[in-house]
């Protein structure tokens, strides 16, 4: 009898505890539902960034690099331009009427960001430690290598970095580029001009003998003059990580651009066509030797967005 | 169905029966009336209140909305946004009612039955079941495990009902829990990695609580529990009603307007009505705007800020903040991209 009543007591105490805990849990769930969300959203970041409220976004692009950033018949085209269009539309600037394209040369890119002339730079901008002290980068969105392009008449003579060192050959590159620093490291004397296009023009006029730059940029010129030039594969040993330049004082905008690139990366990885894949197949794909894929962007923040609930499979 | 005018009887059941008048029947009728009044009246009142809030408190704007939003649209719009609140209230009432009822039945018959018990008494089982079904399809997956102890309590399904012998009973319970664990294992791991402790508890605790939640409570607990939960459910109704009242009745759009050649402007707001001449927009920042139809260049549907997810957890690819219905819906129309125009600042 005593045993039964003791069991009853334990049972009713357990029930009381269970009911109390369930009610507490329900109350906690209710409170949690009304609390401010702990993760920042894309919209929060947009409000923090300096582009909030701007009618147009100013993007610095190259206008003389075929396949990457080119201005032809008043219309900007190329891989960088397509990526810029995608990022702009992710930030709320859909269509060219909402984008102010600013032409930037290789050496202008950092001053343009620092001076507020542009909000973003998408122009074969390699991520380097020195540059990261002056501007922020989101990316990489492309990994390329440094190569040398020679006119067909010299294709048997210039094959190695050693050949480039010969004083007889005049090697040309664009000022303020990573190539300039890399060639100096290999003791190659270079003639520095403003744009890679000037080097190509100089070679065709007989003033220079070789041009060195990113494979992507050289591939662009090769697409223009397929019979006049050849790209020589040289072991410079460094890979160029192309990133999108953002003013250093606007970490929110950097985060947003990185998040947009990550979104495209995930789409591509899941086997769905992504904005990156579209841009790549429309511009670079036919002219590069090896097939490329979008690299994973680095330092992507955890943000929430409206389309987060969409199925991933 | 009007009740005869009689003095109020509070608590005692010692009033003599006179002229065929039964106090129990009378009480039940009154409870029934109050219950159905709440179930039908609360949504109706909310729907009308919402229009006033939506109009920004302006009389003329409210009248414009009243003139253009039909009662059917209003009720349907209300049900889509308030189904969750409605089902939560009903589930809470029925679960608490059943827990209190099984406890009160052990008490002397002189004890007055708490309100929720009387409501639970007179509600047909099909209505209770439908409330749970409504909750099942409308609650966010994150909170769905809580429905389990609530359901077990509402129908007082003790583990003993599973099997009469303890060994098979334990086996069944362990199998069920293992299945549940298998279903949620990746999500639990994610929740742990993201330090979402409440989410973790919300997934793990309810099935265990469901095992112990049935049975009578000690007499000392019943009265305080009854009054506290009655107050809590009422408070919850008021507290949770605020966001429901402020949820828009009309869908949010961004309309691109070209008022003079080459000059475009994005207007965030709700379309009240469109006729041959004007599109009437209730702007998100307040005020009504009549836009000539010829000036409208584009229009896109946008999500509102309340729809932003708060967690980054998924259960088998279903987002934890989606209900079963929403999750299924996303599978029917999977492609969803927020239009760039929706990012337009207000």
ipTM of the complex: 0.78
Token pair of B296 as six digits = 């409208």
B144 domain residue, yes or no: yes
Position A237 scores a pLDDT of 66
Q: Which helix (H) or strand (E) holds B149?
A: helix B147-154
Asked if the structure places residue B204 within a domain, the reply is no
Which residue carries 């029925």 as its tokens?
Answer: B94
Task: With respect to residue A18, please indicate whether it lies within any of the assigned structural domains.
Answer: no
How many residues are there in chain A? 313
CA B133 to chain centre: 12
Q: Are residues B227 and B293 in the same domain?
A: no
Confidence of residue B126 (pLDDT cuts 50, 70, 90): very high
Distance between CA atoms of residues A51 and A33, nearest Å: 31
Whether residues B226 and B333 share a domain: the answer is: no
Q: Give chain A's end-to-end CA distance (angstroms, integer).
A: 60
Same domain, A211 and A253: no
Whether residues A192 and A258 share a domain: the answer is: no
Contacting residues for A152 by C-beta, under 8 A, at least 6 apart: A227, A228, A229, A230
Assigned token pair, B131: 């409330």
Q: Is residue A28 part of a domain?
A: no
CA distance linking residue B212 with residue B225, whole number of Å: 17
Q: Which of B87, B42, B46 is nearest to B323 (CA)?
A: B87
Which of A309, A310, A312 is best to mutate for the B interface (most B CBs within 10 A)? A309
What is chain A's Cα-based Rg? Answer: 27
Q: Of A197, A232, A267, which closes a domain?
A: A232
Residue B327 belongs to domain spanning: 252-343
Question: Residue-wise over A47-56: b if at least 16 C-beta within 10 A, else e?
Answer: eebebbebee
Nearest chain A residue to B196 by CA distance is A38
Whether B143 and B263 map to the same domain: the answer is: no
Six-digit token pair at A192? 């520095």
Q: Are residues A252 and A106 in the same domain?
A: yes
Residue A292 located in a structural domain? yes
Percentage of chain B with pLDDT > 90?
16
Q: How many domains does chain B have?
A: 2
Please report residues of A whose CB lies closer than 8 A to that of B342: 92, 306
**Same domain, yes or no, for B143 and B270?**
no
In a domain, residue B162? The reply is no
A134 lies in the same domain as A265: yes
- Find out whether B178 and A47 touch, Cβ atoms under 8 Å: no
A185-211 pLDDT per residue, tens = 777 777 778 788 888 888 888 788 888
Query: Is A68 in the same domain as A128?
Result: yes
For residues A224 and A246, state if they share a domain: no
Whether residues A170 and A128 share a domain: the answer is no
What's the rounded Cα separation, in Å, for the pair A248 and A95? 26
Q: Confidence class of residue A298 from pLDDT cuts 50, 70 and 90? A: confident
Q: Give CA separation, B193 vs A305, B140, B141, B164, B189, in Å.
A: 20, 21, 19, 41, 6
Distances in whole angstroms, Cα of residue B294 to Cα of each of A307, B81, B138, B288: 32, 33, 41, 18
Residue B173 in any domain: the answer is: no
- B164 in a domain, yes or no? no
Q: Do B340 and A92 touch (CB under 8 A)?
A: yes
If you average pLDDT over residues B293-319, what whole number do you get?
86
State which of A36-40, A154-158, B321-325 shows the largest mean pLDDT: B321-325
Domain stops at, among B226, B246, B266: B246
Q: What CATH number should be reported for the domain holding residue A269?
A: 3.40.190.10
Token pair belonging to B41: 């009246």
CB A294 within 8 A of CB A141: yes
- For testing contact with chain B, the best of A9, A14, A20, A29 (most B CBs within 10 A): A29
- Mean pLDDT, to the nearest integer, of B92-112? 82
Is B245 in contact with A51 (CB distance < 8 Å)? Answer: no
Q: Which CATH number covers residue B303?
A: 2.30.30
User: Do A122 and A256 fall into the same domain?
Assistant: yes
Chain B residues close to A18, C-beta within 8 Å: 149, 209, 211-213
Contacts of B144 in chain A (CB under 8 A): none
Q: Do B339 and A94 touch (CB under 8 A)?
A: yes
d(CA A173, CA A106): 11
Q: How far apart are the C-alpha atoms of A98 and A56, rounded to whole Å?
A: 5
Residue B111 and residue B138 in one domain: yes
Return the number of other C-beta atoms located less than 10 Å from residue B205's C-beta. Answer: 18
Average pLDDT over residues A167-176: 78
**pLDDT tens column, B18-74:** 556 677 777 777 777 877 787 677 767 777 777 888 787 888 888 888 888 777 777
Range in B54-68, B105-119, B193-207 the model is least confident about = B105-119
Residues of A in contact with B217 (CB under 8 A): 12, 15-16, 19
In a domain, B167, yes or no: no
Q: Is the pLDDT of residue A220 over 90?
A: no
Coil, helix or strand at residue A160: coil
Does residue B134 share a domain with residue B48?
yes
pLDDT of residue B18: 52
Whether residue A130 sits in one domain with residue A172: no
Average pLDDT of the residues in B317-342 = 82
Same domain? For A66 and A93 the reply is yes
Segment B229-268, tens digit of pLDDT? 888 888 888 887 777 777 777 888 888 888 888 777 888 8
**Residue A208: which domain range?**
145-232
In the predicted model, is pLDDT for residue B14 greater than 50? no
As a whole-number percent, the residues of chain A with pLDDT over 70 amount to 98
Instruction: Please check whether residue A174 lies inside any domain of the structure.
Output: yes
State how far residue A308 is from chain B, nearest Cα, in angstroms.
Answer: 7
**Same-domain pairing of B113 and B240:** yes
**C-alpha distance from residue B195 to each of B104, B149, B205, B311 (Å):** 42, 25, 17, 11
Mark whether B315 and B330 lie in a shared domain.
Answer: yes
A135 lies in the same domain as A50:
yes
Domain membership flag for residue B29: yes
Which domain-ending residue is among A232, A249, A279? A232
Partner-chain contact B343 A30, CB within 8 Å: no
* A214 beta partners: A146
The last residue of a domain, from among A208, A232, A256 = A232
Q: Given A11, A12, A94, which is nearest B341 (Cβ)? A: A94
Cβ of A304 and B205 within 8 Å? no
Q: What is the dihedral of CA A126, A127, A129, A134, to 10 degrees?
A: 90
Would residue A15 count as lying in a domain?
Answer: no
Name the nearest CA neighbour of B321 among B145, B187, B140, B161.
Answer: B140
Candidates A19, A25, A97; nearest CB to B217: A19
Answer yes or no: do A60 and A180 share one domain: no
The answer to whether B308 contacts A306, with C-beta atoms less than 8 Å apart, is yes
Please report whether residue B78 resides in a domain: yes
pLDDT-derived band at B151, boundaries 50, 70, 90? very high
**What pLDDT does B4 receive?**
43
pLDDT at B149: 93
Together in a domain, B42 and B102: yes
Q: Average pLDDT of B291-295?
A: 90
Q: Would residue A20 count as lying in a domain?
A: no
**Is the same domain home to B234 and B307?**
no
pLDDT of residue B130: 93
Which among A18, A30, A43 is the nearest to B212, CB-wise? A18
Do the chains contact at A34 and B239, CB–CB below 8 Å?
Answer: yes
Q: How confident is the model at residue B345 (pLDDT cuts 50, 70, 90)?
A: low
Is A195 a member of any domain? yes
DSSP strand pairing (A190-193 vs A120-126):
unpaired
The domain tally of chain A equals 2
Query: Which residue, among B215, B233, B119, B113, has the nearest Cα to A19 in the 3D structure?
Result: B215
Per-residue confidence (pLDDT) for residue B174, from 0 to 100: 92
Residues B144 and B274 placed together within one structural domain of the fold: no
Residue A311 tokens, joined = 């199925």
* B324 & B225 share domain: no
Bridge partners, residue A304, by sequence: A41
Stretch B65-91: mean pLDDT: 80
């Amino acid at each position: 009898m005593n045993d039964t009543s003791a069991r009853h007591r334990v049972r009713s105490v357990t029930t009381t505890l269970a009911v109390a805990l369930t009610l507490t849990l329900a109350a906690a769930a209710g409170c949690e539902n009304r609390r401010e969300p702990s993760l920042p959203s894309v919209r929060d970041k947009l409000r923090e960034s300096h582009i909030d409220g701007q009618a147009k976004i100013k993007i610095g692009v190259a206008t003389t690099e075929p396949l990457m950033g080119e201005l032809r018949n008043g219309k900007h085209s190329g891989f960088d331009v397509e990526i810029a269009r995608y990022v702009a539309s992710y930030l709320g600037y859909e269509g060219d009427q909402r984008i102010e394209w600013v032409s930037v040369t290789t050496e202008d890119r950092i001053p343009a960001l620092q001076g507020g002339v542009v909000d973003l730079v998408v122009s074969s901008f390699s991520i380097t430690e020195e540059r990261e002290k002056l501007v922020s980068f989101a990316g990489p969105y492309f990994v390329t290598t440094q190569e040398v392009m020679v006119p067909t008449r010299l294709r048997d003579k210039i094959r190695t970095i050693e050949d480039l060192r010969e004083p007889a050959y005049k090697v040309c590159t664009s000022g303020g580029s990573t190539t300039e620093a890399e060639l100096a490291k290999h003791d190659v004397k270079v003639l520095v001009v403003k744009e890679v296009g000037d080097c190509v023009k100089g070679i065709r006029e007989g003033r220079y003998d070789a041009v060195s730059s990113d494979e992507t940029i050289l591939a662009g010129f090769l697409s223009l003059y397929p019979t006049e030039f050849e790209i020589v594969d040289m072991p410079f040993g460094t890979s160029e990580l192309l990133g999108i330049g953002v003013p250093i004082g606007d970490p929110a905008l950097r985060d947003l651009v990185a998040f947009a690139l990550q979104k495209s990366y995930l789409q591509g990885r899941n086997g769905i066509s992504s904005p990156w894949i579209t841009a790549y197949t429309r511009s670079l794909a036919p002219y590069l030797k090896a097939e490329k894929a979008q690299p994973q962007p680095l330092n992507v923040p955890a943000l929430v967005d409206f389309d987060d609930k969409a199925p991933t499979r | 169905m009007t009740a005869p005018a009689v003095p109020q009887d509070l608590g005692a059941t010692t009033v003599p029966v006179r002229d065929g008048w039964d106090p129990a029947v009378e009480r039940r009728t009154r409870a029934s009336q109050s219950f159905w009044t709440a179930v039908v009246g609360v949504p109706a009142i909310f729907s009308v209140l919402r229009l006033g809030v939506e109009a920004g408190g302006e009389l003329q704007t409210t009248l414009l909305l009243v003139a253009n939003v039909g009662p059917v649209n209003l009720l349907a719009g209300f049900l889509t946004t308030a189904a969750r609140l409605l089902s939560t209230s009903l589930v809470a009432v029925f679960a608490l009612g059943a827990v209190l009822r099984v406890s009160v039945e052990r008490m002397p018959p002189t004890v007055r039955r708490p309100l929720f018990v009387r409501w639970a008494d007179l509600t047909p089982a099909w209505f209770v079941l439908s409330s749970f079904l409504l909750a099942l399809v409308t609650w966010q997956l994150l909170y769905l495990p809580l429905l389990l102890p609530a359901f077990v309590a509402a129908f007082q399904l003790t583990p003993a009902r599973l099997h009469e012998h303890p060994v098979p009973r334990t086996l069944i319970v362990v199998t069920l829990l293992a299945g549940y664990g298998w279903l949620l294992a990746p999500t639990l791991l994610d929740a742990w990695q993201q330090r979402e402790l409440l989410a973790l508890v919300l997934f793990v605790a309810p099935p265990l609580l469901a095992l112990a939640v049935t049975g009578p409570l000690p007499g000392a607990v019943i009265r305080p529990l009854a009054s506290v939960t009655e107050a809590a459910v009422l408070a919850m109704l008021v507290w949770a009603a605020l966001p429901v009242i402020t949820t828009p009745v009309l869908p949010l759009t961004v309309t691109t307007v070209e008022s003079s050649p080459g000059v475009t402007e994005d207007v965030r707001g709700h379309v009240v009505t469109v006729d041959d001449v004007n599109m009437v927009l209730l702007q998100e920042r307040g005020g009504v705007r009549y836009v000539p139809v010829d000036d409208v260049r584009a229009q896109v549907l946008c999500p509102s800020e309340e729809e932003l997810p708060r967690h980054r957890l998924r259960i088998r690819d279903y987002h934890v903040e989606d209900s079963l219905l929403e999750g299924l819906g996303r599978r029917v129309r999977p492609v969803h991209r927020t239009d760039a125009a929706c990012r337009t600042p207000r």
